[in-house]
Amino acid sequence: MDRSRFLLSVGSALGWLSLAQGASAQTAVTLPFVNGERRLVAYPQKRPLILQTPRPPQLETPFSLFDEGAFTANDAFFVRWHLAGIPESVDASTHRIAVTGAVRRELSLSLEDLAAMPVVEIVAVNECSGNSRGFFNPRVPGGQWANGAMGNARWTGVRLRDILARAGLQPNAVQVQFRGLDEPVLPQTPAFKKSLDVDVARGDDVIVAFLMNGEPMPLLNGFPVRLVVAGWYATYWVKMLSQITVLDHADDNFWMKTAYRIPDTPNASVAPGSTGFPTVPIDKMNVRSFVTNLIDGATLKAGPTALRGIAFDGGSGVRRVDVSLDGGATWSNAVLGEDYGRYSFRLWNFTWDAKPGTYTIAVRATSRDGATQSATPTWNPSGYMRNVIETYKLSVA
Amino acid sequence: MKAWLLFLLLALAGAGAALSANVAAPQGTTTVALPPDVGPTFKPGPGAGVARQYCTNCHSPAYVANQPPLAAAQWTAEVTKMQRAYGAPIPSDAASTIVRYLTAVYGKP
């Protein structure tokens, strides 16, 4: 970023920040792990969110907002960037996506070009690979997220495979690589690039999206266009997409070869302290569920009580959600809410006549592919893919 | 093929549903001003200035300050990653100072 532009940004942001602070009563939260104190700060086009890091910005959605419904509002959606060279101004009218590499015809596509192609929409969860990393035990280095590095939105755009078909893949095409407008601070830092195998890239549900919940997306979520790889972790959902490069080899750039890799073991889990295990690139999200209208340690009045929450997986869809009132000893089936598609948050609710006492509420989702959640947390050194059964202590008086 | 059949096939093919209406792509410029770094800052301690000098070139002190307490080997690995993977031009004596600082101030007790 050029220095004068940075100073201008600081000046205008300061005025705006004091406004936001005046309007908001709560200015800090403590995430429920050691060293979990964070400020709530409203970034541009965002309501106050949990400030994980200012530069590059990482903003977490306060968990209570997931109780608002199946869709995460654009101004509440989490933000995660790897490199601080983020353009603060992007012109959608002149933005182009270059399609190059092992193709028959190189393309330079405007957003109008995209809108003239068959447009599809899909409701899909976008979850950071390291969502919930702060709960790992033993703790691991990395972004110390609680459970709010995820969101669910309706994405509108065109299928990547239609773009690839227009360009025409060469027979030697192996992977498709994506990069956006963000730049590293230092020229020697690897630019953020992610790749998908050609078969994955040509799937039904890989979308080059230009609308998020029916609106242009916030700049911090990738305006004017981002990749949506429904069912896969957010690391692949490249923001401000500007380059699609068809590779004739497996991508060996840092962000594929070294970063975002998981143990090639069941549930991507290893014993803490393990080394030397084989790794593979992270891909599909695992199944998770949460209560959204209850915080751990809450006290409720006795009587009819509605518990509700969300569940999702990596695209097989949620088959069932079960709730336990006794810490997982016995389970009862919850009622599922409207089905917005197999990649979406699925709301659930459970009504219970609460008698005085203390309870450990637990929630467990089972996906249509048969996967479910375990009471034993997994562990891996990068803090990826947490999906333990969530529990909530509750007093009824 | 009848339109309804085409629609059904598209709907079955994937969760992405085809839209019949024209959808307008975003136009024009979106400009934001990213707020300044509101902290946390590096805690005081021997080497804090060296950490500030090298680390904040690319990222906020929050990347350090929000970590759980980490062992010396973990802080060493982080600083080495900054040098080797991200190309941070940190001379070896400065890197040693930074590791000592991080371990002393943000280390496991």
> How many angstroms away from the CA of A217 is the closest CA of chain B?
9
Mean pLDDT of B52-76: 98
Residues A373 and A306 in one domain: yes
Is A148 found in the same domain as A223?
A: yes
Q: What is the mean pLDDT of residues A19-43?
A: 82
CB contact at 8 A, A38 and A29: yes
Q: Are residues A235 and A329 in the same domain?
A: no
A123, A154 in Cβ contact below 8 A? yes
Per-residue model confidence (pLDDT) at position B6:
47
On whether both A293 and A254 belong to a single domain, the answer is no
Buried b (16+ CB within 10 A) or exposed e, A273-283: eeeeeebebbb
Closest CA to B100 of B56, B49, B40, B41: B49
**pLDDT > 90 in chain A, percent:** 93
On whether both A211 and A152 belong to a single domain, the answer is: yes
In a domain, A282, yes or no: no
Cβ <8 Å between B36 and A115: no
Last residue of a domain, one of A259, A279, A314: A259
Q: Report the share of chain A in percent with pLDDT over 70.
A: 94
Average pLDDT rounded to a whole number, residues A160-177: 98
CA dihedral over B70, B59, A128, A190, signed as positive or negative: negative
Same domain for A208 and A103, yes or no, is yes
The answer to whether residue A221 sits within a structural domain is yes
Tell me which DSSP letter residue B36 carries: P
Do A241 and A307 belong together in one domain?
no
B99: pLDDT strictly greater than 80: yes
* Strand, helix or coil for residue A4: helix
Q: Assess whether A345 and A200 both reside in one domain.
A: no
| CATH code, domain carrying A390 | 2.60.40.650
Backbone angles phi, psi at A308, to 5 degrees: -145, 165
Check residue B18 and give its pLDDT.
Answer: 72
In a domain, A386, yes or no: yes
What is the reported pLDDT for B66?
A: 98
- Is A48 an 8 Å CB contact of chain B? no
In this complex, which of B14, B33, B58 lies closest to A9 when CB atoms are compared?
Answer: B33
A309 within a domain of the structure (yes/no): yes
Q: Say yes or no for a CB contact (<8 Å) between B15 and A122.
A: yes
Q: Which domain holds residue A135?
A: 97-259
How far apart CA A12 and CA A356 sit, in angstroms, is 53
Q: Say whether both A194 and A241 belong to one domain.
A: yes
Q: What average pLDDT does chain B have?
A: 88
Which residues numbered 344-383 in A keep a CB inside 8 Å of some CB on B? none
The answer for A 49-78 residues in CB contact with B (under 8 A) is 51-57
Question: Would A378 be classed as within a structural domain?
Answer: yes
**Do B18 and A119 count as a contact with CB atoms less than 8 A apart?**
yes
A66-112: pLDDT as tens digits: 999 999 999 999 999 999 999 999 999 999 999 999 999 999 999 99
Judge whether A162 and B13 are in contact, CB under 8 Å. no
Q: Distance (Å, rounded) from C-alpha A203 to C-alpha A284? A: 13
Mean pLDDT of A239-253: 98
CA distance from start to end of chain B = 71
Model pLDDT for residues A282-297, shown as the tens digit of each residue:
999 999 999 999 999 9
Rounded to whole angstroms, how far apart are CA atoms A290 and A162? Answer: 36
C-alpha distance from residue A188 to each of A17, A183, A257, B72, B85 (Å): 33, 11, 17, 27, 9
pLDDT of residue B14: 52
Coil, helix or strand for B97?
A: helix
User: C-alpha B4: how far from its chain's center?
Assistant: 46
* Nearest chain B residue to A8, by CA: B33
ipTM of the complex: 0.89
Q: For residue A48, what are the β-bridge partners?
A: A42
Q: Which of B9, B20, B30, B99 is the best residue to mutate to test the A interface, defined by the most A CB atoms within 10 Å of its own CB? A: B30
Query: In a mutagenesis test of the A interface, which of B37, B54, B57, B63 is the best target, namely the one with the most A β-carbons within 10 Å?
Result: B63
For the beta carbon of residue A318, count every other beta carbon within 10 angstroms.
25
Q: Is B104 exposed, middle or buried (0-12, 13-18, 19+ CB in 10 A)?
A: middle
DSSP 8-state symbol, A37: E
Three-point CA angle A240, A225, A387, nearest 5°: 80
Among B39, B41, B38, B37, smallest CA distance to B105 is for: B41
Q: Residue A232 sits in a domain of what CATH number?
A: 3.90.420.10
Is residue A120 assigned to a domain?
Answer: yes
In this structure, is residue A185 part of a structural domain? Answer: yes
Q: Is the pLDDT of residue B79 over 60?
A: yes
The 10s digit of each residue's pLDDT in A199-224 is: 999 999 999 999 999 999 999 999 99
Indicate the pLDDT class of residue B17, thresholds 50, 70 and 90. Answer: confident
Restricting to B residues 44-73, those with a Cβ less than 8 Å away from any Cβ of A are 57-60, 62-63, 66-70
Residue A265 has pLDDT above 80, yes or no: yes
Residue type, B25: A
Q: Given CB atoms, is B39 within the 8 Å cutoff of chain A?
A: yes
**Number of folded domains in chain A?**
2
B101: distance to nearest CA of chain A, Å?
17
Q: Identify whether residues A364 and A250 lie together within a single domain.
A: no
Strands laid side by side in the A206-212 sheet: A226-229, A206-212, A150-159, A119-127, B17-18
What is the predicted pLDDT for the residue at A142?
Answer: 98
Lowest mean pLDDT among A63-72, B11-20, B56-65: B11-20
Q: Does A79 touch chain B (CB under 8 A)?
A: no
Specify the pLDDT at position A95.
Answer: 98
Res A158: pLDDT: 98
Query: What domains does chain B contain, in order, with CATH numbers?
Result: 37-109 (1.10.760.10)
B22 contacts in chain A (CB < 8 Å)? 115, 119
The number of beta carbons lying within 10 Å of the beta carbon of residue B46 is 11
| Tokens, residue A292 | 């959204």
A189, A323: one domain: no
Residues of A in contact with B37 (CB under 8 A): 54-55
Contact assignment for A230 to B16 by CB distance below 8 Å = yes
Whether A14 maps to a domain, the answer reads no
Say whether pLDDT at B42 is over 60: yes
Respond yes or no on whether the N-terminal peptide bond of residue A138 is cis (omega within 30° of 0): yes
Q: Is the dihedral of CA B42, B47, B50, B51 positive or negative?
A: negative
Task: Look at residue A193 and give its three-state secondary structure.
Answer: strand
Kindly state whether residues A136 and A220 are assigned to the same domain. yes
Average pLDDT of the segment spanning A52-67: 98
Residues in chain A closer than 8 A to B85 (CB atoms): 190, 254, 258-259
Residue A26's pLDDT band, with cuts at 50, 70 and 90, is confident
